Amino acid sequence: MTNNDIASPRAAAVLWPVLIISAAVNVAGNFTGLANPIRIAVGVIATVSLVLLVVHYVRRRRA
pTM of the complete model: 0.81
Query: Residue-wise pLDDT tens for the chain (63 aa)?
Result: 555 555 678 888 999 999 999 999 999 998 999 999 999 999 999 999 999 999 999 988 886
Q: Which residues contact 29 (CB under 8 A, 6 or more apart)?
A: 38, 39, 42
Residue closest to 53 by CA, chosen among 63, 45, 42: 45
